[in-house]
Each structure stands twice: as structure tokens, then as C-alpha cells.
Chain A
Amino acid sequence: MKIKLTHLPFYNAAISLIFTLILVVIVFELTLKEQLVSQQLESETAHVRSQIYQMENFINNDQTTELRNLIANLTALPIYQDILVIREDWQVLGSSQVRHENLHLVDVTPELVAYVTQVVDQGFTSKEIVDGNHLLYRIPDPADFNKNKAFISVTLDLSKISDNAKLVLTNDLIVFSFATVFMALVLYLSTIKVLKKRLRRIEESLIDFTQGNRVQRLSQRHTSDFKNLEKTINKMLDELDSEQRSLVEEKDFSNILLNSISDGLVTTDETGKIIVVNRSAVAIFGYDYEEELLNQDIVKLVPSEYRSAHQKKFFSGHSHNTSGILNKLREVEGIKKDGTRVPVSITIVQNTRKGKVFFTAFINDLTESNNYRRSMEKIAFSDGLTELLNINGLKRKLSQQPLSGYLALIELNDLKVINEGYGYEFGDKLVTQFAQSLKEMQHEKCTIAAATGGRFLIHTQLPPSDFTSKLNSFRHKVTYIFDLPFKLDLKCSYIRLNNESSFDVQLRFCRIALRNEASASPDQFVEVDVDWINRRAYQSRLQQRLSNAISNEQLFFHFQPKFSSFSKKIVAAEALIRWKANDEFIPPAKFIPIAENSHLMPHIDQYVISLACRSIRHWLDQGLDVVPIAINLSSKYLFLDTTINYIFEKVGEYSVPPELLEIEVTEYGLINDFEKTAENMQRLQNSGLKLAIDDYGTGHSNLETVAALPIQNLKIDQAFIKRALGSDKSKAILENIVDLAHALKIELTAEGVETQEQFDYMRSLHCHYIQGYLLSKPLEESDFLEKLREQNALVSTG
């Protein structure tokens, strides 16, 4: 490797630099020329001027000889082209040409006469005028020169100055350029010398390094211009060195890795010859040394029935038909050294190195994991106690085909009692023995599975009559456990399996049926009623929605006015709770029972109390002539202080005048704690609230009981009225009650009055208030208020 410096980039740079320098000098000199010319002109003019003063002096002192000598001397100087001293009478006193002296100027240069005349005529008073190369000087007041004035005319050859400047500049330029070129050459050659020396050193070191002297580095000189280059090269050499070292380490490491991984690893070339094998692979295939497998054909490890396919896929000529095999975890069998087979999982990857194809197989011995899997399966899919299938096991079995036949859920009665009374070992024993009994059924198209808590599942294709009779045969059988006799009993629910619902859902149906119905059934055997379960589910969902509706205040009132039986005026109204969910109107008959069967009723009561108080307050604030509003509360909760306190709290919160809120007690027949309820009702009454008994005549309570409660109003149910109009006996009872109420000063309200007959009848009985479709159906709030306003308007105008 010979470094050729003309190829180095700085060569061109140096040449460019030299030319640039020369160019710069030329430009500089050219600009300098102008300056030089003007400077020289300046100094020459100054010189001329001083000479003119000298001449002026000689003229004034009448020193003609000296004047002429001076002119002669000056004429020899290059810049003076012509000098003329002219007296006022136009006689030439002195001239650069001797022959002109004492002549009349007209005979010398007539043009000058004309020029001087012209200048004088123009009032030439200044001492000099310069006109091109011509300088005319006037001696304004000659002291002693025949009292005449004189002119000095000097013609200068300015081209001499320019030539002179040019010459100076040219010489400058030459010297400068030569010096520049010379310096550049010297600099260039010396740089090359230094550069070559340093580069040769670097070159030698690099050659040394490439020949194997790995510790070879360039000596770094801090003063050297190459220190950065040397540093970089050294860094590069360090990196090369460390790369080399890490390659060796990597190889060692991969060997260690190869032999330390538990996976077996076998690499073959494209002919199927094993070229790499690790210890794990050797162990998996039952060999002792890697050498036993190295350079062997891989087919040695492949079972005979797969060999031809294997060869075809991997090693048939140049085309490797390996699609669908590479990079996939597969479970196959391999042949061990002793000829036995070993289950393995295998992943084959293909890679190409230096144009050659290699296959590497990662192999895992599955013998252990297969065993483990089997034991896991046992745990997962069978019942440890009875060794029957568990639910998952059954599910797995049934998942193979569409669901059909029957699924029966069986529960041992009294197992809980036995467990608690005798201990779990007794219970377990009982379960085990029953399981043994059940196993008798297995051969009759039945699959038996054990569930937790003494429950069993039977899947069968037999009709229910068959398997129920079989099950019945187990019942009431005495069985001995640890020599103690136990009478075995069971209950069962079963379902005809279909494919509309999942197995889990249908099993759940069985569980629900077993829990809710089987116990109620006389023989404790029940077939699942899917409709009933669906209804239950609907109610559960509805209950959930109702709970949300209460929280979100989606319940509202319709108001059914109560009219005076005499004036037919609205005197009060009953607030009836309504629920509209997503445009679906859900009647109270549907949701109130749900509320009552759950924990929601007290919440509805509170909601009703709060909403009624808020509405009354709202109307009052609007200036309405508000009539008493009745709300329905279940007597079931009236004995609770919390309910009463809540009423007081809301009445207080909304400042509701107590006479405007009436509480109608429903389900008075269900009053448990009569005294407490009565006490609470008394508290309400004491505070000014009105209390009424709703739906009187539907329950079984007698009037005495009811009348014992502190009430002001009794609402007689529609059915009662209808009955009274239908039979004399009923009429007598009703009229009796009416009389009693009158006697007790309890006001009466007829509910559900739909016909004029009913109205007339109740009115005849002096029933105070009439409520019903005849006079008004329950109204939406706006309609109700509208009606109230109309009535008030009539009153005020009437």
C-alpha cells in the first residue's frame, strides 16, 4: 500500500489556496493601484506647487536666471511636460524650451493666449486652476516685476504617474506571487514529508495488527496533529480486539449453554447428517456420548414408520418440503439406543449459514410430562373420594357430542346432619358407599359423576321412569357405616337435555329445581320446569331494575281524586305509585309483590313518603290550593320506628302541613305487632297526619280490630260494594260497618266506584267520599293539577 499524496483531498485544497491567494493579491493590488496613483498624484501636485512657489519667489525677486535654471531642472523631471512663465505683456519670461524665452506668447503657443485671456475674462482671481494635465497659475500681486503680473503655466504628464504606479504594482505583484507560490510549495512539501512519515507509522502499525499482533497500538503523541486519528484508530483496534475476544467467549458460552439446557438439541446438515448434538439430546435418546450420534444419519432417531416421510420432507434433494413442520411444536416419538420409543416434543427450525441449509431440532422428553399430564387429568376430571368422574369430567365426556338424554342431579339427604353429628369420615363413607351403589347403573347407558356436598350427577339415555325407579330402589336402604346403621335417602331433579342452553345452564336449572321444588315434591323427585325457572329469573332481573329505578327516582305518582259524595268536588287524592322502565309500563301489581318479597319495600315506602312530601311542597310553593294527598304504606313496616321517623323527617324537611298528608295502611291483615303498630299510628295521628285503612273488606280482620287502631278514614274496597249490591247479606254487613264507622266518627271512602248505581248506593249510606273510575281514573300529575285548578277557579268565581 503506497500512499499517493496527489490523491489526498488537501492536494486540491492547497492548489486552490495558492490560486486564491494570488487572485486575492491581484485584486488587492489593483485596488491599491488607484490609491497609489492618487497618492502619487497628490505628492507630485504638492511638489509642483512648491516649485511654483519657488518660481513665484524668483519672479518677485527679479531673479530671471534662477527662474530659468529652475525651469530647466524641473523640465528634466518626467512629470513636467512643459513650463511657461508669461508676463502680463505676454512675453515669455521662462520656458522649458529656451528658444521661447523673450518671445511673445502668441509666437509660442497661441492657444495658451486664448486660454489665459478667457480665464482672466472670467474673473480669474484665484491662484491656480487645474484643467486636465494643464495647471495655470496666476501670480496675483507680483511685488517687483515691472509692476506686471505674470502667469505660470505648467503642463504635467500624469501618465507617468500612472505608469510609475503600474510598474511598482507589477513588481509588487510579481514578488508577492512568487513569494506566495514559494511559501506554498515549501509548506506543501514539508507537510507532505511530515504527513508521509506519520501515515507510514500508522500503516505499519495496522499491518502489524492484521498480521496478528493484537496488542499492537499506535503510540499517541499529545503534540501530534494526528492524535485524534491515532486515538480513533486505537479505539477501533480495541473494539476489533474485544470483538474477537467476545467471539471466542461467545463460542465457549454457547457450548456451555448448549450442554446446560435441558432441551435436547440436534442439528443436521442438509443431507441429514448430525453435526451438533448436546448432552440432553444424547440422554433423551439413551446414548452415553455425543460421539455416538455425531456424523450419524438423523434417521437413526426416527421410528421406522415415519422414516420415508421424514426423508422426503427434509432431505430429498434440494427442495425441502418442510412447510407445516418448521417452527411448530409437535409431539412425536423417537427411537432410543435400545430400540424403545420415547415420546418427545420437537420444534425444528431451519437456518442458512454461508449458503448451506441446516436444520436444528429442539427436543423435549415427554415421558415425565405425559405421566404428569395423566395425573393432572385425574385430578381435574375425577372425584378423589368416589373415583367417579367429577363435573368437569362429565362435561368433557358430554362435550364430544350434542347434548341429549337426561341429566339427573341427586342429593343425599341429611348428609349435613351426619357430617355435623358424626364427623366427615362418616359422611365421606356414606358418599362412597352410595357412589358404589350408583356405579351399578353405569352399564345401563348411564354415566355417573360425583359433585360436591353429597351430590351426584347422572347422565342417561334412559327414560325418567327407568332411572327414577332405579334411584327409588336405593331409598330407605339401611347401610352400615363403621357398624352404625344409617338410612339412606335422596332427592332428585332431572332435566331433558337440549342444545339450546349450555350444559352449565341446564345443570343450574337442576340445582334451582332441587333446592326450591324437590323438597316440596311428595316423592322428592322433580322434573325441571323451565318456564318456572325463567319466570323466577325474570322476577330477579325485575327486582334488580326496580332497585335501580328507586335509586334513580324513576318511580312516580298518578293521582286518583277522592270526591265528596255530596258536592262531587275533589277533596283529596290518592297517590298511586307507577313505574315506567324504558317505555315499558310495569303495573304495581307486578312490581309491588316483588318489592314485598325482597328487601325493597321499605325503600319504596321511603320513596313514596319523600316524593309525596316533595310534591305537596312544590304545589304549595306554586300557590295551589292543595288537597290532602294519601299515600299507601304497608302495615308490615308501620311498627318500625325508622318508618315513622322517616315520615316525620320528610314532613319536617318539606314543611308539609300535616293535614295534607294522609297515610293509607295496606295489608292491615298482616299486622304482627299490633300494639306497636297502633302506638306508631297514634304518634302519626298526634302529629296531625290522617290515617286510613285501605282496601277494607278484602282481608279477614274484623272491624273491631281495625277500629281499635287510631284511624280517621276507612276505605271500603270495591269488591265489598259490589257484593253488597248483589246480596242482601252482604248489604247488611256493609251497612252495619257503615253504621259502626259513623258511630266511631270514622270517615268512609268508597273505592273503585264505577257505576252510578254504586255511587248512589254509597251516597245513600252517607259514605263521605267516593273514589273510582266513575268520577275520575288515576291522573298524571299535570292532569290532576289541571283538574284541581279548574275546580278552584269554579269555586272562586262561583
Chain B
Amino acid sequence: MSKLVYVFTFVAFVTWMPLGCGSAPPEKLQIGTNIWPGYEPIYVARDKGYFDSIHIELNELRSATQVIQAFTGGDINVAAVTLDEAIRLAYLQQDISIVWIFNFSNGADALVTRPEITELSELAHKNIGAEQTALGQYFLSRILEEAGLERKELKVKNMDISQHEESMLKGTVDAVITFDPVLRSLSKQGFKVLFDSSDLPNEIIDVLVVKNHVLETNKTQLKQFIQGLDRIRKDIQNNFETHSAFLNRRLKLNSNEVAEVFADLVIPSPQQQLAVFSKREELQHLFERYARILNIEDLASCRCEQLVNTELLEQLSED
């Protein structure tokens, strides 16, 4: 009988071996972003060959919605998203972690109105275009708070960022909650910025989220990716001028606008990021506010402890 057992053990080993080996290779990093100045350093880093040694795939999506769809649909496993989107993904059972902060919006997100609207209060009974994103809604709620208006007093139209400029030009809406580069484009054409993210410091954050199993299986490459991000951050900070054209490749702004756009962004160093993440109470409060906006009642999914993974940042700051 013992011979028999050996035979079956061998057979089982042989048949299960491919499965074991199949799980071993790290999952390729498939990174998706929409077009946002805060994310552009990724593409500059790519063009500069900082990611040549790692196997990544950059998917250039057009909107946050596309990114969310790709992420939830499994086409990408790493995404550059706004914090509200990160919270929503976490809530949608996406087992994710926030590992990197691209930027804090310091005016890059704004409420752009037709020139005749000068006060927030004038927004009452006006048509406002906004993305059906948490950020859009968060921004809207913060505007309502500032303006002292009720939600129902506004006519909010859901529209994608790609429609913002057109809608404003056609006059189908009176105001849009938008962001660069549309923001820059509209303000150039005489539209007025009535409220922007500089009014909400450290509230509008763009982060890098990663699916947890990728974090576990492909930590090395992820770390290299973040190292690339940090490296390009330093490059840009040290010499913005030389990188300006690169940063504009996708944004397609006038060259003089590029600096302005980036002036609206605060790009934190790893240490600064760790500092933000370490203020757990504030962060948790912010998370919960977003959650409320998103009508998330179960707040357990957006616990800082779960959502934020500072391991890579810590390693980076130690190096």
C-alpha cells in the first residue's frame, strides 16, 4: 500500500505544480490615470525611462469615471484617483490601499462661473455642471456650505469633464465644478473662478491606490514605481522649466499656462505625505466626510488603518 501512496503523492505533486508556479509570478502593474496635472509626472518619468527596468503598463484614460470603471473591471490594478474615489473603491469591496499622494489641490479644482456671477449666493437657481464623482459632489457640498445654500436650490447637471468646456461655451450651464486643464482654458476665455481648492487646503487630494494582492505579490516593482515618482518629483521641483514641456505633452496647454497650473498644486515629498497620513484623526474625519457625501453608512470600510499603507513611503524615506 505504501508504494501506492507514493505514486499518488507524486501524481498529485505533478498535477498541482503548474498551479503553484502559476500563482508565483508577480502580477504586472497596470496603471491607469486620467488627464490631470498632478498625474503628469508619471508620464514624464515614463518618457525619461525611469520605469524601463520595471514591467508596467500605463493606461491613458480620459476621465476619472473611465479610471474607476477600468479599476473595478479589472483592466487595471493601480490607479491614480482623488481621495473620494479611493474611498468609494474601498467601499465597493475593492481591497485596496493608498500608497502615495500625488498632490494636494491648491486651486486646481474650482467652481467656474459665467462672468456675471460674482457671488456664490448668486448660484441659487442656476444650472451647475459637475462630475458625478464624489469629488464633484464634495466640492459642491463645500460650496453650498460656503454659499449657505441648500442643495435643492441649485440645478446640478451631471456631466463628464470632457463636456465641461463645451457646455460653458454653449451656455447650457451657468457654472461648472471643474479642474485643470479645463479650468485654465475656461478662465482664459473670460469665465470666472469663484471658488477653488485653495479654499479647502489639504482636502482635495490625489492619491495612488493599489489592489492589495498586487501590493503583496509585486511589492518590489511597486516600490520601484514609487521611487520613480519620487525621483521625477524631485526633478520637477529642482528644475521645473526643463520639465514644463514634458508635463504639457498630454495637457496640451499654452506653455505659459503650465507653470500656473502647477502652481495650483502642492506636490508633497514622502516625508510630507507621511506627516499627513500620521494625522489620523484629521484624516479619518476627512474620510468620513467623503463617506457621507458618498452616502456610505458603513464607515468601517474607510478606516485609515485599513486604507492607508505607508510601508513603501516609509522605506522610501529611510533610503
Could you list which residues of chain A lie within 8 angstroms of chain B, going by C-beta atoms? 5-6, 11, 15, 18, 22, 65, 68-69, 72-73, 75-78, 96-99, 101-102, 167, 170-171, 173-174, 177-178, 181, 185
**Which of A22, A167, A177 has the most chain B CB atoms closer than 10 A to its own CB?**
A177
Give me 7 other A-B pairs in contact (C-beta within 8 A), A75-B59, A181-B11 excluded: A69-B66, A69-B162, A72-B66, A75-B61, A76-B66, A96-B60, A177-B15
Complex partner residue of A65 from B59, B162, B249, CB under 8 angstroms:
B162
Say yes or no: is B70 at the interface (Cβ < 8 Å to chain A). yes
Q: Separation in Å of the B74 CB from the closest CB of chain A?
A: 10
> Does B75 lie within 8 Å of A77, measured CB to CB?
yes
Say yes or no: is B250 at the interface (Cβ < 8 Å to chain A). yes
Whose C-beta in chain B lies nearest to the C-beta of A176?
B15
Q: List 12 A-B contacts (CB under 8 A).
A: A15-B7, A18-B11, A22-B15, A69-B66, A72-B59, A76-B76, A96-B60, A99-B43, A102-B252, A170-B19, A181-B8, A185-B8
Q: Which residues of chain A have C-beta atoms less than 8 A from B7's C-beta? A: 15
Q: Separation in Å of the B137 CB from the closest CB of chain A?
A: 22
> Does B22 lie within 8 Å of A167, measured CB to CB?
yes
Say yes or no: is B35 at the interface (Cβ < 8 Å to chain A). yes
> Does A99 lie within 8 Å of B249, measured CB to CB?
yes
| Residues of A contacting B: mostly | helix
Q: Which residues of chain B have C-beta atoms less than 8 A from A68's C-beta? A: 62, 162
> Does B15 lie within 8 Å of A73, measured CB to CB?
no
Complex partner residue of A76 from B15, B19, B70, B250, CB under 8 angstroms:
B70
Q: Separation in Å of the A463 CB from the closest CB of chain B?
A: 114
> Does A98 lie within 8 Å of B75, measured CB to CB?
no
Could you list which residues of chain B lie within 8 angstroms of chain A, going by C-beta atoms? 1, 3-4, 7-8, 11-12, 15-16, 18-19, 22, 30, 32, 35, 43, 59-63, 66, 69-70, 73, 75-76, 162-163, 249-250, 252
Q: Separation in Å of the A12 CB from the closest CB of chain B?
A: 11
> Does B66 lie within 8 Å of A73, measured CB to CB?
yes
> Does A69 lie within 8 Å of B62, measured CB to CB?
yes
Q: Across chains A and B, which 4 residue pairs bring their CB atoms closest together, nearest first?
A: A99-B249, A177-B15, A98-B250, A76-B75
Q: Which residues of chain A have C-beta atoms less than 8 A from B19's C-beta? A: 170-171, 174
Supposing A65-B162, A73-B61, A181-B12 touch, asked if A170 and B4 sit within 8 A by C-beta, the answer is no
CA distance A308 to B250 in the complex (A): 139
Q: Which residues of chain A have C-beta atoms less than 8 A from B1's C-beta? A: 5-6
Q: Which residues of chain A have C-beta atoms less than 8 A from B163's C-beta? A: 65
CA distance A167 to B305 in the complex (A): 36
> Does B22 lie within 8 Å of A170, measured CB to CB?
yes
Q: Separation in Å of the A19 CB from the closest CB of chain B?
A: 8
Q: Which residues of chain A have C-beta atoms less than 8 A from B35's C-beta? A: 98
Whose C-beta in chain B lies nearest to the C-beta of A65?
B162
> Does B75 lie within 8 Å of A174, measured CB to CB?
no
In the complex, number of A-B residue pairs with CB atoms less than 8 Å apart: 77
> Does A98 lie within 8 Å of B60, measured CB to CB?
yes
CA distance A579 to B70 in the complex (A): 139
Complex partner residue of B15 from A15, A72, A101, A181, CB under 8 angstroms:
A181
> Does A174 lie within 8 Å of B15, measured CB to CB?
yes
Q: Which residues of chain A have C-beta atoms less than 8 A from B249's C-beta? A: 98-99
CA distance A97 to B57 in the complex (A): 12
Whose C-beta in chain B lies nearest to the C-beta of A185?
B8
Q: Separation in Å of the B155 CB from the closest CB of chain A?
A: 23
Q: Separation in Å of the A82 CB from the closest CB of chain B?
A: 11
CA distance A97 to B249 in the complex (A): 10
**Which of B18, B35, B73, B252 has the most chain A CB atoms closer than 10 A to its own CB?**
B18
Q: Separation in Å of the B48 CB from the closest CB of chain A?
A: 13
Whose C-beta in chain A lies nearest to the C-beta of B32?
A76
Q: Which residues of chain B have C-beta atoms less than 8 A from A101's C-beta? A: 252
Whose C-beta in chain A lies nearest to the C-beta of B22?
A170
Whose C-beta in chain A lies nearest to the C-beta of B18?
A170
Q: Separation in Å of the A28 CB from the closest CB of chain B?
A: 15
Whose C-beta in chain B lies nearest to the C-beta of A157?
B57
Whose C-beta in chain B lies nearest to the C-beta of A71?
B62
Whose C-beta in chain B lies nearest to the C-beta of A69?
B62
> Does B16 lie within 8 Å of A178, measured CB to CB?
yes
Q: Which residues of chain A have C-beta atoms less than 8 A from B250's C-beta? A: 97-99
Q: Which residues of chain A have C-beta atoms less than 8 A from B61's C-beta? A: 72-73, 75-76
CA distance A98 to B69 in the complex (A): 19
Q: Separation in Å of the B36 CB from the closest CB of chain A?
A: 11
Q: Which residues of chain B have C-beta atoms less than 8 A from A77's C-beta? A: 75
CA distance A142 to B66 in the complex (A): 28
Q: Which residues of chain B have C-beta atoms less than 8 A from A170's C-beta? A: 18-19, 22
Whose C-beta in chain A lies nearest to the C-beta of B73?
A76
Q: Which residues of chain A have C-beta atoms less than 8 A from B30's C-beta? A: 76
Q: Separation in Å of the B169 CB from the closest CB of chain A?
A: 13
Q: Which residues of chain A have C-beta atoms less than 8 A from B252's C-beta? A: 101-102
Q: Separation in Å of the B40 CB from the closest CB of chain A?
A: 9
CA distance A23 to B316 in the complex (A): 50
Complex partner residue of A6 from B4, B11, B22, CB under 8 angstroms:
B4
Whose C-beta in chain B lies nearest to the C-beta of A66?
B162
Q: Separation in Å of the B255 CB from the closest CB of chain A?
A: 14
Q: Separation in Å of the B318 CB from the closest CB of chain A?
A: 34
CA distance A11 to B22 in the complex (A): 33
Whose C-beta in chain A lies nearest to the C-beta of B28?
A78
Whose C-beta in chain B lies nearest to the C-beta of A6?
B3
Q: Separation in Å of the A113 CB from the closest CB of chain B?
A: 20
Whose C-beta in chain B lies nearest to the C-beta of A77?
B75
Whose C-beta in chain A lies nearest to the C-beta of B12?
A181
Q: Which residues of chain B have C-beta atoms less than 8 A from A98's C-beta? A: 35, 60, 62, 249-250
CA distance A170 to B4 in the complex (A): 26
Q: Which residues of chain A have C-beta atoms less than 8 A from B32's C-beta? A: 76
Complex partner residue of B18 from A22, A73, A102, A173, CB under 8 angstroms:
A173
Whose C-beta in chain B lies nearest to the C-beta of A173?
B18
**Which of B12, B35, B43, B59 has the most chain A CB atoms closer than 10 A to its own CB?**
B59
Q: Which residues of chain B have C-beta atoms less than 8 A from A185's C-beta? A: 8
CA distance A361 to B30 in the complex (A): 111
Q: Which residues of chain B have C-beta atoms less than 8 A from A96's C-beta? A: 60
Whose C-beta in chain B lies nearest to the C-beta of A96?
B60
Q: Separation in Å of the B310 CB from the closest CB of chain A?
A: 28
CA distance A185 to B32 in the complex (A): 48
CA distance A97 to B40 in the complex (A): 12
CA distance A78 to B70 in the complex (A): 11
**Which of B4, B73, B75, B163 has the most chain A CB atoms closer than 10 A to its own CB?**
B4
Q: Which residues of chain B have C-beta atoms less than 8 A from A167's C-beta? A: 22
Q: Separation in Å of the B63 CB from the closest CB of chain A?
A: 7
Q: Which residues of chain A have C-beta atoms less than 8 A from B4's C-beta? A: 6, 11
CA distance A15 to B11 in the complex (A): 10
CA distance A177 to B16 in the complex (A): 9
Complex partner residue of A73 from B16, B22, B70, B162, CB under 8 angstroms:
B70
Q: Separation in Å of the A673 CB from the closest CB of chain B?
A: 126
CA distance A776 to B162 in the complex (A): 164
Q: Which residues of chain B have C-beta atoms less than 8 A from A178's C-beta? A: 12, 15-16
Supposing A76-B75, A76-B76, A102-B252 touch, asked if A97 and B60 sit within 8 A by C-beta, the answer is yes
Whose C-beta in chain B lies nearest to the C-beta of A174?
B19
Q: Which residues of chain A have C-beta atoms less than 8 A from B11's C-beta? A: 18, 22, 177, 181
Complex partner residue of B75 from A69, A78, A97, A102, CB under 8 angstroms:
A78
